[in-house]
A = this chain, B = another copy of it.
Amino acid sequence: MPLPVPVLPEGVDPAWLPPAAFRSVGGRRTLIRGSGPLVETVHGEVADACRRFGGRVVRGAEPGDGAYDLVLDLGVHDLGDEDYTVAREGGTTTVTAFGGRGLLYGLFHLVRLGEAAFSGAWTPKTHRPALTLRMLDHWDNVAVHPVMGQVERGYAGGSLFWEDGRARDELDRVRAYGRLLAACGINALSVNNVNVHATEARLLTDRLDEVAAIAGALRPYGVRTHLSVSFASPVMLGGLPTADPLDEAVRGWWAEATRRVYEAIPDFGGYVVKADSEGQPGPFAYGRSHAEGANLLAAALEPFGGTVHWRAFVYDHRQDWRDRTTDRARAAYDHFVPLDGEFADHAVLQVKHGPMDFQVREPVSPLIGAMPRTRLAVELQVTQEYTGQQRHTCWLGPMWSEVLRFRIQQGSTVGESARGGLVAVSNVGDDPFWTGHPLAQANLYTFGRLAWQPDAEPGAVLDEWIALTFPDAPARLADGLHAVLDGSWRTYEKYTAPLGVGFMVQPGHHYGPSVEGYEYSPWGTYHFADRDGIGVERGVTGGTGFAGQYGTPWAELYESPKTCPDELLLFFHHVPYGHVLKSGKTVVQHIYDTHFEGVEEVEEARAVWASLAGLVDPARHARVTERYEEQLRSAREWRDQVNSYFFRASGVPDERGRRIH
């Protein structure tokens, strides 16, 4: 039986799967062959499209029947579960796949192609994801947290999954969400916050049925469900006196708990663990290593094919700002590199892409290149915690692409090193536009597509998103959307913390400027600005030694202010305000110039958006317009506070005599 396409609740935006995106497929005669649950999903998709656009769909007829424009064919080739081959010959387009997910991804491939999927002739081409795990982490709390709210670092309303302290009864929207994820290639999802509080810990045991219900809603679109668990579960939930990973009773407890999880959710993906990090429990309490901690859970998951994602975000969050020898940037490398080779096969070490915390500009984490005998997953942040909180337009495709294409070691890129997958913190909530800012949908879509193909051109992915989301867009609209999004990350960088120094946000919620907000804090996030200069000395000579954690050529390049790229200069070096950048500008003049430019670019983007009124549906246009008003207000605040701060500190007037307060 074909599975009906999930029904979007009234008023919810279809995002990148509006009905019109299916016009080309829906107008054709399609043959589907093969069986299995995901074939029913594919059948349901094609049938729904045909109902709208006049085509028809048949199951199981003989191949080679010239009466079909499209054949979706499962099981004839020896491909991976997610791979598919597309070809076109004699007026028939064919997708062949070995697994149900491959067939589904092949269908969405044709949807992206639109009319081009049905013209000309092409030789067979096989598509396969570069990374087998393409995952979203939802930092959703079941019980609303008094400070962090329901979705930690969420800017799009409440949780899609949890409401009133339990899993939602009505999961249509979750089904529709799974469909959106499949259409951009995401195949795994963790349903709760990595900071696991008391209520959420119980999802592993007596509230497992709620997780199973969500998993059931995501499964038809090939998205496997993962769960964030507390390392202290054997104590919190099992009543054991210890959570020591070498304790036999603890190992037995995890084995039994995991067995029950797979009983309820046979395709369960595995656990996500934030241990010994920002107050979460972990193996350090028992004098055990993080490898011993991770391997405990890997051993419980291995019989069922599951994986533990063990986060490498371990650092001292009670640092003394007076102590300049401690460097948070070094922490993940210092903690984990000595453990290379000790992690079990079913353990994946999940590493943030930068050494700090999802700033608008950071170097790539040196840990990614330094653990060749460990499966690493790279973690990105789609939710815009430090990049405008979905009130600012900030399309992160170019940043992620730079990271993924960065050659971190021996010719390997980050994308190639991420053998354990690409993971991102989700930016989605129960907002009608899914992401609060409608244009922030582009970030989620881009993440999925880059996870599938890390060396993809981000600009092409952006255009793909535009074409799907606005299927009948005139060129002026498509060009306008491309224009306001394409440079928005660099614009955001311009008006916020300069030259890679990071932070300068308001403490706690992290929105808006506070140049000294984290300067005397315990969080290890300092810029050391004084009347003479600014920046963190992280060289091997005279610094914290962080630059030495890189291999060739990066260690040498970053070591000296002469060779360090401008955009990372203050991350690696403390320099006088008069230091001349490769651009020929002094640091302080660069700060002034970029902050004036950043605001001007927001003004321009706002004007472009205004000019698109009438080409975009009114609700969406109004929502984005309102966000641009706030972005502009906030960007001006950033400009004025940052410029004033550095003018007050340096005493250097702006060369161009602009108003600095």
- A residues with CB within 8 A of B: 146, 321-322, 506-507, 513-517, 520, 529-532, 637, 640-641, 644-645, 647-651, 661
**Inter-chain contact B661/A529, CB cutoff 8 Å:** no
The residue from B514, B529, B651 contacting A648, defined by CB atoms under 8 A apart: B529
Q: A516-B514, A516-B516, A520-B513 are in contact. Are A530 and B322 (CB under 8 A)?
A: no
Q: How many whole Å from A141's CB to the nearest CB in chain B?
A: 16
**Inter-chain contact A661/B322, CB cutoff 8 Å:** yes
6 inter-chain pairs at a CB distance below 8 angstroms, sorted by A residue, are A514-B520, A516-B517, A520-B637, A530-B647, A530-B648, A531-B651
Please give, as numbers and ranges, the residues of chain B lying within 8 Å of A513 by CB-CB distance.
520
How many protomers of this protein does the assembly include? Answer: 2
The residue from B514, B516, B520, B649 contacting A531, defined by CB atoms under 8 A apart: B649
Bound complex: CA A644 to CA B528 (Å):
10
Bound complex: CA A651 to CA B322 (Å):
17
Q: How many whole Å from A638's CB to the nearest CB in chain B?
A: 10
The residue from B515, B529, B651 contacting A530, defined by CB atoms under 8 A apart: B651
Summarize A's interface: helix, strand, loop or mixed. loop
Please give, as numbers and ranges, the residues of chain B lying within 8 Å of A641 by CB-CB distance.
520
**Inter-chain contact A649/B530, CB cutoff 8 Å:** yes
Q: How many whole Å from A529's CB to the nearest CB in chain B?
A: 7
Nearest B residue (CB) for A529: B648
The residue from B322, B516, B531, B644 contacting A640, defined by CB atoms under 8 A apart: B322
Q: How many whole Å from A216's CB to the nearest CB in chain B?
A: 35
Bound complex: CA A513 to CA B519 (Å):
11
5 smallest CB-CB distances across A and B, nearest first, come from: A530-B648, A531-B531, A516-B516, A322-B661, A520-B641
**Inter-chain contact B532/A651, CB cutoff 8 Å:** yes
- Of A507, A520, A644, A649, the most chain B CB neighbours within 10 A belong to A520
Please give, as numbers and ranges, the residues of chain B lying within 8 Å of A514 by CB-CB distance.
516-517, 520
- Of A507, A517, A648, A651, the most chain B CB neighbours within 10 A belong to A648
Please give, as numbers and ranges, the residues of chain B lying within 8 Å of A322 by CB-CB distance.
640, 661
Nearest B residue (CB) for A652: B531
The residue from B529, B531, B644, B645 contacting A650, defined by CB atoms under 8 A apart: B531
Please give, as numbers and ranges, the residues of chain B lying within 8 Å of A649 by CB-CB distance.
530-531, 648-649
Please give, as numbers and ranges, the residues of chain B lying within 8 Å of A645 by CB-CB distance.
516
**Inter-chain contact A531/B661, CB cutoff 8 Å:** no
Nearest B residue (CB) for A651: B531
Q: How many whole Å from A324's CB to the nearest CB in chain B?
A: 8
- Of A146, A507, A513, A530, the most chain B CB neighbours within 10 A belong to A530
Please give, as numbers and ranges, the residues of chain B lying within 8 Å of A644 by CB-CB distance.
520
Q: How many whole Å from A343's CB to the nearest CB in chain B?
A: 39
**Inter-chain contact A648/B515, CB cutoff 8 Å:** no
Please give, as numbers and ranges, the residues of chain B lying within 8 Å of A648 by CB-CB distance.
529-531, 649
Q: Beyond A531-B648, A531-B651: 14 further Cβ-contacts under 8 Å?
A: A321-B661, A322-B640, A506-B507, A513-B520, A514-B517, A515-B520, A516-B645, A520-B637, A520-B640, A520-B641, A529-B648, A530-B648, A648-B649, A649-B649
Nearest B residue (CB) for A659: B322
Nearest B residue (CB) for A644: B520
Bound complex: CA A517 to CA B641 (Å):
12
Bound complex: CA A644 to CA B514 (Å):
18
Please give, as numbers and ranges, the residues of chain B lying within 8 Å of A529 by CB-CB distance.
648
Q: How many whole Å from A111's CB to the nearest CB in chain B?
A: 45
- Of A146, A321, A506, A531, the most chain B CB neighbours within 10 A belong to A531
Nearest B residue (CB) for A661: B322
Please give, as numbers and ranges, the residues of chain B lying within 8 Å of A520 by CB-CB distance.
513-515, 637, 640-641, 644
Q: How many whole Å from A595's CB to the nearest CB in chain B?
A: 14
Bound complex: CA A530 to CA B515 (Å):
14
Please give, as numbers and ranges, the residues of chain B lying within 8 Å of A531 by CB-CB distance.
531, 648-651
Bound complex: CA A317 to CA B661 (Å):
20
Bound complex: CA A507 to CA B518 (Å):
13
Nearest B residue (CB) for A516: B516
Nearest B residue (CB) for A323: B661
